[in-house]
């Protein structure tokens, strides 16, 4: 874990990465979609959220400001320190946890209404994803939801090309090795989401076109915003 967390420390410091623009704490489309979804479903805009892989906290802090009780989790100390600094500047008391989501979580059973997983568990290998899903299920309340924002491969031609040209190991289908970085990423179709995230059941799923910058290039990428129930 230490070396993986260190790798993400470096990524979280790199301001050229689209997902961790240090200095920009604008919430992502996924966080705004999450709140929009609750409004549409007429669910209360409050509750306990655990955000896995919170990065520098652009979403977690915004959700705290909207009135949610949020636990921000990341195994990167750089990320957690950035959230802490930002929360302090805003005079917000943040609940931060520095642990690896592919091991047992130091979080109470049945304590969370939502686990938000924005661009995080697509990085986990299948054995790690299995432990992760057991822990998500354990910490969620009986009617809790896992909310995913993750990579598509049905429309996303960049993901399709990477899957063809830089496939991950045979034991990790639908993954590729991210160029210039070196970690594995999984890209799924809508049908595969409930297969990979079983026993969670897909409640809703929306494909979101979103041009995304990698270094100096912009790609026409597509992402899934999916809500899954226990």
Site residues (vs ligand SAM, CB under 6 A): 8, 12, 19-20, 28, 53-55, 58, 74-76, 79, 100-102, 118-120, 123
In whole angstroms, the minimum distance from the beta carbon of 136 to ligand SAM comes to 12
Q: Give the DSSP letter string of 144-172.
A: EEEEEEEEB-SS-HHHHHHHHHSB--TTS
In whole angstroms, the minimum distance from the beta carbon of 102 to ligand SAM comes to 5
Give whichever of 21 and 92 is closer to ligand SAM, judged by the CB atom.
21
Give whichever of 103 and 191 is closer to ligand SAM, judged by the CB atom.
103
Give whichever of 148 and 202 is closer to ligand SAM, judged by the CB atom.
148
First-to-last CA distance in the chain? 28
Instruction: Tell me if 227 sits within 8 A of 41, measured CB to CB.
Output: no
Which residues are 213's β-sheet partners? 218
Give whichever of 14 and 220 is closer to ligand SAM, judged by the CB atom.
14
Instruction: Tell me if 102 sits within 8 A of 130, measured CB to CB.
Output: no
The strand pair at 69-73 and 95-97 is best described as parallel
Enter the tokens of residue 55. Answer: 């990065």
Provide the 8-state DSSP code for 101. Answer: T
Torsion angle defined by CA atoms of residues 69, 122, 153 and 224, in that order, rounded to the nearest 10 degrees: -10
In whole angstroms, the minimum distance from the beta carbon of 37 to ligand SAM comes to 16
Q: Which residue is nearest to ligand SAM (CB)?
A: 53
In whole angstroms, the minimum distance from the beta carbon of 42 to ligand SAM comes to 26
Give whichever of 14 and 165 is closer to ligand SAM, judged by the CB atom.
14
In whole angstroms, the minimum distance from the beta carbon of 176 to ligand SAM comes to 15
In whole angstroms, the minimum distance from the beta carbon of 120 to ligand SAM comes to 4
Give whichever of 61 and 79 is closer to ligand SAM, judged by the CB atom.
79
Instruction: Tell me if 140 sits within 8 A of 110, measured CB to CB.
Output: yes
């Amino acid at each position: 874990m230490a070396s993986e967390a260190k790798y993400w420390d470096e990524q979280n410091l790199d301001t050229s990465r689209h997902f961790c623009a240090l200095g920009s704490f604008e919430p992502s489309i996924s966080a705004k979609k999450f709140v929009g979804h609750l409004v549409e479903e007429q669910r209360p805009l409050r509750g306990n959220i655990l955000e896995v892989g919170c990065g520098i906290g652009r979403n977690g802090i915004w959700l705290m400001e909207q009135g949610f009780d949020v636990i921000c989790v990341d195994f990167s100390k750089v990320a957690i320190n950035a959230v802490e600094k930002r929360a302090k500047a805003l005079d917000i008391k943040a609940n931060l946890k520095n642990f690896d989501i592919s091991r047992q979580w130091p979080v109470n059973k049945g304590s969370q209404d939502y686990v938000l997983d924005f661009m995080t568990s697509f990085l986990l290998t299948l054995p790690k994803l299995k432990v992760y899903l057991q822990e998500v299920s354990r910490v969620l309340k009986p009617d809790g939801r896992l909310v995913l924002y993750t990579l598509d491969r049905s429309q996303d031609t960049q993901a399709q090309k990477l899957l063809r040209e830089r496939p991950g190991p045979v034991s990790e289908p639908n993954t590729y090795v991210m160029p210039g970085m070196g970690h594995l990423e999984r890209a799924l179709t809508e049908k595969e989401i409930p297969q990979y995230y079983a026993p969670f059941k897909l409640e809703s799923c929306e494909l979101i076109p979103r041009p995304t910058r990698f270094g100096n290039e912009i790609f026409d990428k597509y992402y899934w915003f999916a809500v899954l129930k226990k």
